[in-house]
Amino acid sequence: MARDRSSTARRAGVLAAALSALTLTGALTAAHAPLTARQELRRTQPKGHDVSSHQRSVDWYAARADGARFAYIKATEATGYRNPYFTGQYNGARRAGLIRGAYHFALPNRSPGAAQAAYFVRHGGDWRADGVTLPPALDIEYNPYDKHHKCYGLSRTRMVRWIRSFSDEVRRETGRRPVIYTTANWWRACTGDSRAFAADHALWIASHGSAGPGRLPGGWRYWTFWQHGTRGDLPGDQDLFGGSGTRLRAFARGR
């Protein structure tokens, strides 16, 4: 995920069948489809990107012209950091016609999940069923500040409880469960491949340099967003939505 400060900026029958495989969010997975189908899906799925303060001033109109249809923008980290460019980035994306949402970078060793969720919602992570606002997203991955504590010093049980606390607070304040951004490796290592969230949380899977996102973690059968690279046509990290443009708008509305 694009992070801030000292962190590094981080075909027809087959296609039709794949497009009908919708989850509670209406998303699909092409992870196990034939290569030609995966290539066709990537041509037809809405493109997007995620940015943070690392990108600063984004030319959103140019991004739209280059194919962007949605964006996630970093709002907060833990309970003491706010992206100083968030408002301009968030409003700029909307003015250019993108469906946009906010994400929070989790630091589970710093404060409780509910506290970080409340801080996030207060500083950009809110949601409205207006069709142009994506649900809040939780970015949870390897600790970028301490390579010796990749799971932030939490046991798998405590990590699952932390994520649940964050999710419950986001739902209480916004009416939506957060999208969960993670990698398969981190999820397995740090939650024990918990299946506690697959039924009611959309998955934003990070898997770079491959034709598909690969095996999904934690009981998820489908992905909603796939971050497939850190460089490309769009500013920041490169993403796809796992359905049609119509489905993307419906997902934003909470349907």
Question: Where in the sequence numbering do the catalytic residues fall?
Answer: 50, 141
Q: What's CA 19's distance to the chain center, in Å? A: 20
Query: Which H or E element spans position 116?
Result: helix 113-122
Residue 127 CB: number of other CB atoms within 10 A? 20
Give the three-class secondary structure for 121: helix
CA distance 115 to 210: 36
What does the alpha-carbon distance between residue 177 and residue 181 come to, in Å, rounded to a whole number? 13
Helix (H, G, I), strand (E, B) or coil at 182: strand
First to last CA, the chain: 26
From CA 165, how far away is CA 169, in angstroms rounded? 6
**CB-facing half-sphere around the CA of 130: CA atoms within 13 A:** 11
